[in-house]
Amino acid sequence: MKRFLTCALAAALALPLVATVAQAQNYNLRPSYGSVTLQAGFMPDPRTRSIRAGGDHQFTGGGGCPGGAWFANAPDYRVHYRAGGYALSFYVRAPGDTAMLINDPSGTWFCNDDYQGLNPALVFNNPRSGQYDVWLGTYNRARVNNSVLYITELGAFSR
């Protein structure tokens, strides 16, 4: 039940962005921190990736995120996912205030800021199979080292 409530709350926070809001982010570029291919039921769960959050392109806001965050142009990380009956969650733990942008397989943009404290999370209750491009941003132009992206089917902030 707790997993369902976590997913339901996160889904309410995962509001799609108008495509023009994220013009500075280019999902056609090669991701700066690599990629992973996962299918439903993947192990180990969660998967993690250390990322240096932030960038040189200021986000104007929308879809649950205020304006002012700085993101890179290229995705930070790319996930190729094969769906199969589980919710797919992305969350971040970082020593500073971060925001997260995701472009899903349908080309829809999602954003979250401050899901748990200053850390963002996005949950896709009925994820599509395909490519998820992820950006981690900061609220000043300085980069935040030691940011960790978590990808899980167990629910946001499950570990």
CATH number at residue 125: 2.60.120
H-helix or E-strand spanning residue 6: helix 2-13
Contact between 147 and 53 under an 8 Å Cβ cutoff? The reply is: yes
In a domain, residue 158? The reply is no
Contact between 78 and 134 under an 8 Å Cβ cutoff? The reply is: yes
pTM for the predicted model, two decimal places: 0.85
| Backbone CA torsion sign across 149, 53, 35, 73 | positive
pLDDT digit string (tens) for 94-152? 998 999 999 999 999 999 988 999 999 999 999 999 999 999 999 887 778 899 999 99
In a domain, residue 69? The reply is yes
Compute the distance between CA of residue 90 and CA of residue 153 in angstroms, rounded to an integer.
9
Residue 70 neighbours by CB under 8 Å, 6+ apart? 54, 55, 56, 57, 58, 59, 137, 138, 139, 140, 141
SS3 146: strand
In a domain, residue 159? The reply is no
In a domain, residue 157? The reply is no
Give the residue numbers spanning the domain of 52.
Answer: 2-152
Residue 20 neighbours by CB under 8 Å, 6+ apart? none
Is the pLDDT confidence value at 17 over 90? no
Is the pLDDT confidence value at 33 over 90? yes
In a domain, residue 56? The reply is yes
Number of domains in the chain: 1
- Helix, strand, coil content of the chain in percent (nearest 5): 10, 40, 50
Percent of the chain with pLDDT strictly greater than 70: 83
